[in-house]
Amino acid sequence: MKQFNYELDYSRIKDLRLKNNLMQKDVADLLGISIAAYSQFERMDDLIPIELLNELANYYHVSLDYLLKISDKPGKNIINKKLDKVEVGKNLREIRLSKKLYQETLAGEIGTSHSLISEYESGKKLVSLTYGYAICKKYNVSLDYLYGKRKVHA
């Protein structure tokens, strides 16, 4: 199985916090986590879960693509909402089929298992940030579309 090391860069969470005159404690409280945990995310010493990154995108009214530097535009037509693993699974399936890929092929391309892709597509699990990002970078699709925050590919 191939291993991919896409460099996730969510340093904009710090930029947005400072731009909004917030302390790390303010954002940690908003997310319901410790200051130490949030600080690790800002330093990119720890992988931020997609659910928390989505909460930040909703709070700052920006796109996931913007937070991860996939786009330099904060985002238009972005839906602020909680992530729905069933909807995300349907979007993943649509992306996969539009690229004419089997689940096994997609899994091999992003370095995971066919069974995990199946669990994602059936809505049993939410697509992790790591694999979501890998899919979006490899197939040039919007992270916001994959996670149901935008209705059309951008």
- Model confidence at 154: pLDDT above 60: no
Confidence of residue 152 (pLDDT cuts 50, 70, 90): low
Q: Which of 72, 51, 55, 91 is nearest to 9 (CA)?
A: 72
Mean pLDDT of 125-131: 96
- Model confidence at 103: pLDDT above 90: yes
**Residues 53-97: tens digit of each pLDDT:** 999 999 999 999 999 999 998 887 788 899 999 999 999 999 999
- Model confidence at 8: pLDDT above 90: no
Instruction: Please give the Cα distance from 113 to 106 (Å, whole number).
Output: 9
- Write down the mean pLDDT value for the chain: 92
State the amino acid at position 148 in one-letter form: G
Residue 8: CA atoms inside 13 Å, Cβ hemisphere, count? 26
- Model confidence at 16: pLDDT above 50: yes
- Model confidence at 148: pLDDT above 90: yes
**Residues 132-142: tens digit of each pLDDT:** 999 999 999 99
Name the phi and psi angles at 40, rounded to 5: -65, -35
For 43, other C-beta atoms within 10 Å of its C-beta total 10
Look-up: residue for tokens 């904060």?
Answer: 74
What domains appear along the chain, each with residue ranges and CATH number?
12-67 (1.10.260.40), 85-146 (1.10.260.40)
Confidence (pLDDT) at 116: 97
Q: Are 117 and 127 contacting, i.e. CB atoms less than 8 angstroms apart?
A: no
Mean pLDDT of 11-15: 95
